[in-house]
Amino acid sequence: MFIVDAEKISGMILPAIGLYYFVQGLFGLYKKFKKGRTAYPTFEIDNESATVYVNHKNAAVSFPLSDIDKLRLQYKSGQLISILLDTKSELKLAINGYENLEAMAEVFWRFTPTCNIKVATWFHR
């Protein structure tokens, strides 16, 4: 017959619970890394035709740069964090997490009416 001391069992409960939560955290990180770059849509700005192409998985959207109605640039600590676009066709885009946000903002700035550009010095969602 196999008998285990109650003190030994109670001493193993807390480490077992900690190990469970640690493994759950690792599994969550694995899922994030597995998605990787495919989690973000790709943006292509064609300067010749003045058109923006957005592709994500099996969906594609395009709109002319002249269709941009409102542009909001959100900064945090002096760095551009997010670009929010509203188009005349009711399309709303939030662009963040890309390396070349400043270049994208410069292109959008040129095609947006000056009275519809807002620069936020603090970042909000």
CATH code assigned at 87: 2.30.29.30
> Does the structure show a pLDDT above 90 at 70?
yes
Same domain, 30 and 84: no
**Mean pLDDT to the nearest integer, 94-118:** 90
Same domain, 104 and 82: yes
1 assigned to some structural domain: no
Does 58 lie in the same domain as 15?
no
Query: Could you give the number of structural domains in the chain?
Result: 2
User: Domain containing 95: what range?
Assistant: 40-120
20 and 45 inside one domain? no
Work out whether the CA dihedral 91, 73, 108, 40 comes out positive or negative.
negative
Residue 85's pLDDT is 92
What pLDDT sits at residue 125? Answer: 55
In a domain, 49, yes or no: yes
Residues 19 and 47 in one domain: no
Which amino acid makes up residue 123? Answer: F
* Alpha carbons 100 and 108: distance in angstroms, whole number: 13
How far is residue 36's CA from residue 31's CA, in Å, rounded to a whole number? 9
Confidence band, pLDDT 50/70/90 cuts, at residue 17: confident
- Tokens 């409102």, residue? 70
Q: What is the mean pLDDT of residues 67-87?
A: 91
> Does one domain contain both 26 and 57?
no
Residue 125 lies in a domain: no
Q: Evaluate whether 54 touches 60 at the Cβ level (below 8 Å).
A: yes
**Domain shared by 24 and 60, yes or no:** no
Sole residue written with tokens 């099996």: 58
- With a pLDDT cut of 70, the percent of the chain lying above it is 87
Question: Which pLDDT does position 120 carry in this prediction?
Answer: 87
Whole-angstrom Cα distance, residue 16 to residue 24? 12
**pTM value surpassing 0.85:** no
> Averaged over 15-23, what is the pLDDT?
86
What's the chain's Rg over C-alpha atoms? 24
